[in-house]
Amino acid sequence: MSWLHTWGGLSVGWLLYFMFITGTAGYFVSEIDYWMQPEMPHLNESAEHGQLLLLAEQHLSRKAPTAKSWRIYLPSERERTLKVRWQDGDGRHKDILHPVSGDVVNVRDTGGGGQLYGMHYRLHYMPRTVAFIITSLCGMFMLIALITGIVIHKKIFIDFFTFRPGKKQRSWLDMHNILSVLPLPFHLMITYSGLIFLMFTTMPAVFIASYGVEEEGQQRFRSELRSTPIPIKATGNRMSLTSLPELLEKAEGSWGQGNVSRVSIEHPGDSQARITLQKRRVDQVSDEQKLIYHGVSGQLLSAVDEVGTSASKSFYALMIRLHIGEFAGTVLRWLYFLSGLMGAGMIATGMVLWANKRRTKADKSGHASKGLILAEHLNVGTITGLPIAIAAYFLANRLIPLGLENRAEWEVNILFITWASMLVYPAFISKFKQVLAAIWVQQLTLASMLYLMLPVINMITTNKHLGVSLLTADWVRAGFDVSMLIIGLCFGVAAFKMQLKKQSAKSQGTAKGAQQTVPTMLAKDVSP
């Protein structure tokens, strides 16, 4: 069991850490999006939703009259703008509209927070299906690690609050236990729901056995699952759409004002157009309601209500909603964020613990295996390297010239190039007789500097910096900058403490050979 926990965790630990960090960032995806698009207007109110629908429709009819589908996202508490998307022969497109004037807001080409969070399950530089399989496999390893971890942790209740600092491996183990056990409901939920999320790609055999491999069977499965009618094909006859604000009024009649989050139009301008209104999901964990209207006549075709359909559907919907935490208000969202960071810390402390144990043995025997050195380098390169790469991603958002082609793609490239550099750095710098502890200090310091620099660069490159955002009560942007400062400070404190410990260990004359064990310190300071 213990073997399974250790090796299961270690083999995919670095990738899991990546998934946890990017996933945790995802709880603030709207906020990150907003900061990474400083051109977005800061408004406290928007026009009335009926009006917005008209503005969106006008824009879409001008820009994409022959599209296969339109989507209009109405503003919400967290997303204060009007967004439109459409899909045509060229693929998917989107625009952001000013919620009062309806003009297109020219935002810089960036993937934003959505891109960062998407990497959490889509990875990058590979087809979706491959990424889904890899992440699900990691998720499976994670599930096994959690279960085996619970099984081998015999004193799970006695050790509940136990943390003994200053005791080398014992402290790392204590912290690993705390970060694992205290958010255990979260960890179990997030892992299992994560697996469920991608199960249509990863466990196809089960539904193929019942529905066959053909597209027709697959569509039948999908529509039976979602209780929605099978999509209709376009006829090619042009007819104008019914009045959208009228449908909005009808929907708001039963759902309440402002509770329509999205309007989707299949085959706009066709005689068989379909308009789907979706209810905003803020007050319930399991609730998805849609109203589907005929696009030309405005007649209600069906009302979809996932609540109370079946136990398995409810469970599925519940798991998905819990995973994303869409329903969460500010406080709960921060709690989710905390739990996610604790999860990342759990993985980080686990890997450092493993490396430390092996290092102690290696110091005694005088021989360190290549595997150990690789693990140590991967540890520092990922645990500090990934946060450094994310800071680089944010910096790139401010520094890459606006007109550059494929700008959004380059922001992501910079993230991975930075991470790769941080992974290679330990091997490179070891040639100059740098001790592992020194490498940790160097990378922690770099992380600290980059995060502290972010609000400064923001000030230099835009007019939406802390000075302005605090004055105009643009709390999201201000909050982002302040959070970056706090993260930078945490890394700085960690680097400083590590430097002190390193110096005290040196002065005690305990150095054996060229490498030293990573000194004990608060694991909380190491992981962000």
Partner 1 sequence: MAIFSRTLAAIVGGYWLANVMGILLSLLLGGTQANNVLTAMLMSFSMYAAVVIWVFSAKTAKQACMGILIPCIVGSLVVFVMVDGAL
Partner 2 sequence: MILLSFALLFMGFAGLSLAMKRHYPQLQPIMEKNSQQRSKQVIIAIRLLAYSCLLTGLFFCINSQGISIGFVFWLGLLTLAALLQAMLLSYRPRWVFGFGLMLLGCTLFSVI
Q: Which of 210, 330, 507, 508 binds partner 1 (CB under 8 A)?
A: 210
Stretch touching partner 1 by CB under 8 A, among 55-63, 137-145, 238-246, 295-303: 137-145
Compute the distance between CA of residue 236 and CA of residue 239 in angstroms, rounded to an integer: 9
Of the two residues 200 and 255, which places its CB atom closer to partner 2 in the complex? 255
308 binds partner 1 (CB under 8 A): no
Picked from partner 2, partner 1, none, the partner binding residue 315 (CB below 5 to 8 A depending on kind) is partner 1
310 binds partner 1 (CB under 8 A): yes
The residues in 279-298 that bind partner 2, with binding defined as CB under 8 A, are 283-286
Is 260 in a helix, a strand, or coil?
Answer: strand
240 binds partner 1 (CB under 8 A): no
Of the two residues 286 and 443, which places its CB atom closer to partner 2 in the complex? 286
218 binds partner 1 (CB under 8 A): no
Are the CB atoms for 396 and 367 separated by under 8 Å?
no
Q: Which of 163, 186, 207, 496 binds partner 1 (CB under 8 A)?
A: 207
The residues in 324-363 that bind partner 2, with binding defined as CB under 8 A, are 327-328, 331-332, 335-336, 338-339, 342
The number of C-alpha atoms within 13 Å of 335 and in the hemisphere containing its C-beta is 12
Q: Which of 104, 126, 203, 511 binds partner 1 (CB under 8 A)?
A: 203
Nearest approach in angstroms of CB 283 to partner 2 is 7
Cβ atoms within 10 Å of 433's Cβ, excluding its own: 8
Are the CB atoms for 303 and 99 separated by under 8 Å?
no
259 binds partner 2 (CB under 8 A): no
The residues in 142-171 that bind partner 1, with binding defined as CB under 8 A, are 143-144, 147-148
Compute the distance between CA of residue 242 and CA of residue 253 in angstroms, rounded to an integer: 18
Compute the distance between CA of residue 98 and CA of residue 75 in angstroms, rounded to an integer: 10
Are the CB atoms for 320 and 314 separated by under 8 Å?
no
Backbone angles phi and psi of 478, in degrees to 5: -60, -45
Compute the distance between CA of residue 70 and CA of residue 60 in angstroms, rounded to an integer: 8
154 binds partner 2 (CB under 8 A): no
526 binds partner 2 (CB under 8 A): no
Paired tokens of 255: 């759902």
184 binds partner 1 (CB under 8 A): no
Compute the distance between CA of residue 208 and CA of residue 235 in angstroms, rounded to an integer: 30
Cβ atoms within 10 Å of 349's Cβ, excluding its own: 25
151 binds partner 2 (CB under 8 A): no
Is 52 in a helix, a strand, or coil?
Answer: helix
Residues that bind partner 2 (CB under 8 A): 158, 160-165, 178, 182-183, 185-186, 283-286, 318, 322, 327-328, 331-332, 335-336, 338-339, 342
